[in-house]
Amino acid sequence: MKTTETSPAGTAEPLHEMKAAPPGAGPGKGGGRGRGRVLNAFSHGVLVLWAFMVVMPLLWAVMTSFKDDNAIFSSPWALPDRLHFENWSRAWSQAHMSDYFLNTVLVVAGSLAGTLLLGSMAAYVLARFDFPGNRFLYFLFIGGMSFPIMLALVPLFFVMNNIQLLNTIHGLILVYIAYSLPFTVFFLTAFFRTLPTSVAEAALIDGASHTRTFFQVMLPMAKPGLISVGIFNFLGQWNQYMLPTVLNTEPEHKVLSQGLVQLAVSQGYKGDWSGLFAGLVMAMLPVLAAYVVFQRQVVAGLTAGALK
Amino acid sequence: MQHGKYRFIVGFLAAPLALYTLFVVWPFVQSIYYSFTDWTGLSPEFSMVGLDNYARLMDDDVFWKSLQHSLLFALLLPVVTIGLALFFAFMINVGGRPRRGAAVSGVRGSSFYKVAYFFPQVLSIAIVALLFQFAYNPESGAINSGLRAIGLGDVQPLWLGDPDLALWCVMAVLVWSTVGFFVVLFSAGMASIPRDFYEAALLDGASRVTTFFRITLPLLRDTIQSGWVYMGILALGAESFAVVQIMTTGPGGPDYSTTVLVLYVYQSAFRDGAAAYATTIGVALLIVTLAFAAAVMRLGRRERLEY
């Protein structure tokens, strides 16, 4: 992680606020140092407060997942009397968390692979080839970014129903891919435009077909872009709630976010709040852990689009 | 060569385009068409009714309430979220104790703050909503018992159960989960502003508040603008759907006090069996979304600053 310059001495004292401030010049003299310190104390205070507000609910959830039901209701802030690991095993097996996990993994694996493959194919063609209708197709794709999905979901429900894709894992995969294409195409088109043309031309002259050039030359070169957009899509698809809520109501095919909400609605399956909290934390921790490990890539991937 | 090129183009575009057309474009077109029919969604028969659905919309109290709430989401949420994020990002990047040779510096532990603030962004909005639903529980939730613990036992709001408070509670959750993203985004933008700008301004006697409004803000304009559009679209669509549907009773809150357009579309189509009417509300949502994006773009139009 990039830190803003730490002075060599590490805990050096505040020295001069202004580099080479001429003595007596400017209203900052003398007062400048004090003002800097007040500001520093203030900003630390505010920043610590918000950090507390962000981290606290998450820690509270982890703590609660180890308590029994009585303790959850009688004293929400007290530490657990002992670590109730049975909440976790109960949630994993009896509350079907294992099934929801497996469904989510299946759906996300399928749709992420599909999104990256189809998205890069479309983006490559749109970025590197001139043909009638190129602009039109490009705007058709990226137009999807600004439309409210819910509008399309009502007819989509019936389209899916007619072609027997409603409540199926593969149907959900196809829909995820379709709704991920706008941003993916937008991002990768910009990315393919930045890649040098010379390598692809050399490959073509050497007799490689367009298809082969794409898979063996261009796609490996586009790896950084694929990783960024891949992380963006991974998190989006893993956390998706609206699409499965509408298109996937079969209890056996529920994904994590849906399954958890289902548990909460049915009063934490027979009033088992501790198990529900265990499930909640179970769904939360893998993503948080992955974020801590890969935070640079995650941040770059998620903010890539907004910075363009 | 030419022949091969077109075969390649068609081959590569066919699958993505087919999928996109079938699942995204076609339903969009259909939904506008359906908004002029009386289709229930329960049977395949329907007939054209012209503008009846739109007329019904005008007299529908729930629609107006949802519209009001959705507008509040689209206008207030970005202001609060982006304002807070700008404030934190400026603190992180400029609020540090001055060090040798630098006019402005980041606070110690700036990387920690950026990592921690971003946490909620990687979580599913559904999980966040569930978590806060527990926290808001009036009897045994974390917030009210926290208030009791610090001696505010008399202040025990019903939070999500109070029609006047529920909407604000829901919005607070979205602010909580989104601020970190913008802090990181604006931090990256601020880090790329040359330090000499601040040095020169501070030498001239400008206060830090002035440097924020005169240097930081104008140079981040583009980033703020795209962030604004992004946030507004999310707040009108998927995010507000998840929090309102999961957190509030009904769902939609006591006396429709938290319902939003996107939830109303969902309920009309899949609970009330009024598919055509739902698409009509959806068209209204589309218009609001596009108007919002256009307004932000227009307000932000200005010469690009180069540096």
User: Which pLDDT does position A9 carry in this prediction?
Assistant: 37
| Cβ within 8 Å of B, A 87-116 | none
Mean pLDDT computed over every residue of chain B: 87
Testing the interface with A: which of B28, B111, B220, B247 to mutate, by most A Cβ within 10 A?
B28
Residues contacting B255, CB < 8 A, separation 6+: B163
Residues A290, A235: Cα–Cα separation, whole Å: 11
User: Which pLDDT does position A51 carry in this prediction?
Assistant: 93
User: Which pLDDT does position B12 carry in this prediction?
Assistant: 93
Q: What is the CA radius of gyration of chain A?
A: 26
Q: Are A293 and A231 in contact (CB under 8 A)?
A: no
For A144, name the nearest residue in chain B, comparing CA atoms only. Answer: B24
Contact A175 B125 (CB under 8 A): no
pLDDT above 90 (res B190): no
C-beta neighbour count of A194 within 10 angstroms? 9
CA dist list (Å): A144 to A75, A129, A140, B89, B297: 47, 22, 7, 31, 18
Q: Delimit the domains of chain B by residue range.
A: 60-249
- ω into residue B251 within 30 of 0, thus cis? yes
Q: Delimit the domains of chain A by residue range.
A: 39-84, 94-307
C-beta neighbour count of B33 within 10 angstroms? 14
pLDDT above 90 (res B150): no
CA dihedral B140, B238, B111, B100 (to 10 degrees): -120
Mean pLDDT computed over every residue of chain A: 82
pLDDT band for position B307 (50/70/90)? low
Mean pLDDT over A249-272 rounds to: 81
Using a CB–CB cutoff of 8 Å, tell me whether A71 touches chain B: no
User: Which pLDDT does position B268 carry in this prediction?
Assistant: 92
For A182, name the nearest residue in chain B, comparing CA atoms only. Answer: B20
Model confidence pLDDT, tens digit, residues A220-255: 999 989 998 999 999 999 999 999 999 998 888 999
pLDDT band for position B72 (50/70/90)? very high
CA B288 to chain centroid, in Å, comes to 14
Q: Number of helices (H) and strands (E), helices first, in chain B?
A: 15, 0
Residues A177, A237: Cα–Cα separation, whole Å: 9
| A227 Cα to chain B: minimum distance (Å) | 16
| B87 Cα to chain A: minimum distance (Å) | 9
Residue A244 has φ and ψ, to the nearest 5°, of -65, -30
Percent above pLDDT 90 for chain B: 42
Mean pLDDT over A100-105 rounds to: 93
User: Which pLDDT does position A77 carry in this prediction?
Assistant: 76
Mean pLDDT over A25-50 rounds to: 66
Which residues in chain B have Cβ-Cβ distances shorter than 8 Å to A6? 99, 108
User: Which pLDDT does position B101 carry in this prediction?
Assistant: 60
Residues A211, A59: Cα–Cα separation, whole Å: 50
User: Which pLDDT does position A18 carry in this prediction?
Assistant: 38
User: Which pLDDT does position A249 carry in this prediction?
Assistant: 87
| B112 Cα to chain A: minimum distance (Å) | 9
User: Which pLDDT does position A306 carry in this prediction?
Assistant: 61
Contact B12 A125 (CB under 8 A): yes
Residues contacting A32, CB < 8 A, separation 6+: A17, A18, A21, A26, B98, B202
Instruction: Please name the helix (run of DSSP H) or strand (run of DSSP E) that holds residue B186, with its range, or none.
Output: helix B166-191
Q: Are B48 and B33 in contact (CB under 8 A)?
A: no
Contact B96 A302 (CB under 8 A): no
CATH fold for the domain made of A94-307: MetI-like fold (1.10.3720)
Mean pLDDT over B11-40 rounds to: 93
Closest of A277, A46, A107, A154 to residue B271, by C-alpha = A154
Mean pLDDT over B75-85 rounds to: 93
| B137 Cα to chain A: minimum distance (Å) | 10
Contact A122 B181 (CB under 8 A): no
Contact A57 B230 (CB under 8 A): no
pLDDT band for position B100 (50/70/90)? low
Residue B37 has φ and ψ, to the nearest 5°, of -120, 180
Residues A261, A258: Cα–Cα separation, whole Å: 5
Mean pLDDT over B297-302 rounds to: 74
Map residue B262 onto helix, strand or coil.
helix
Instruction: Please name the helix (run of DSSP H) or strand (run of DSSP E) that holds residue A32, with its range, or none.
Output: helix A31-64
Instruction: Please name the helix (run of DSSP H) or strand (run of DSSP E) that holds residue B241, with its range, or none.
Output: helix B238-247
For A74, name the nearest residue in chain B, comparing CA atoms only. Answer: B140
Model confidence pLDDT, tens digit, residues A150-208: 889 999 998 899 899 999 999 999 999 999 999 999 999 999 999 888 888 888 888 88
Testing the interface with B: which of A5, A212, A241, A291 to mutate, by most B Cβ within 10 A?
A241
Closest of A191, A192, A185 to residue A144, by C-alpha = A185
For A3-12, A68-77, B83-92, B158-167, which range has the lowest pLDDT when averaged over its residues? A3-12
The answer as to CATH 3.40.50.300 being correct for domain B60-249 is no
Q: Are A51 and B117 in contact (CB under 8 A)?
A: yes
Q: Return the structure tokens found at B284.
A: 């209204």
Closest of A222, A283, A263, A305 to residue B127, by C-alpha = A283
Map residue A248 onto helix, strand or coil.
coil
pLDDT above 70 (res A23): no
Using a CB–CB cutoff of 8 Å, tell me whether A36 touches chain B: yes
End-to-end CA distance of chain A: 21
Percent above pLDDT 70 for chain A: 85
Residues A210, B216: Cα–Cα separation, whole Å: 46
Residues B293, B233: Cα–Cα separation, whole Å: 8
Mean pLDDT over B53-70 rounds to: 93
Mean pLDDT over B93-109 rounds to: 71
pLDDT above 80 (res A8): no
User: Which pLDDT does position A305 carry in this prediction?
Assistant: 63
pLDDT above 80 (res A297): yes
pLDDT above 70 (res A35): no
State the maximum Cα–Cα separation within chain A, in Å, rounded to a whole number. 81
pLDDT above 80 (res B106): no
Using a CB–CB cutoff of 8 Å, tell me whether A207 touches chain B: no
Which residues in chain B have Cβ-Cβ distances shorter than 8 Å to A47? 88, 91-92, 95, 107, 113
Mean pLDDT over A279-298 rounds to: 88
User: Which pLDDT does position B19 carry in this prediction?
Assistant: 95
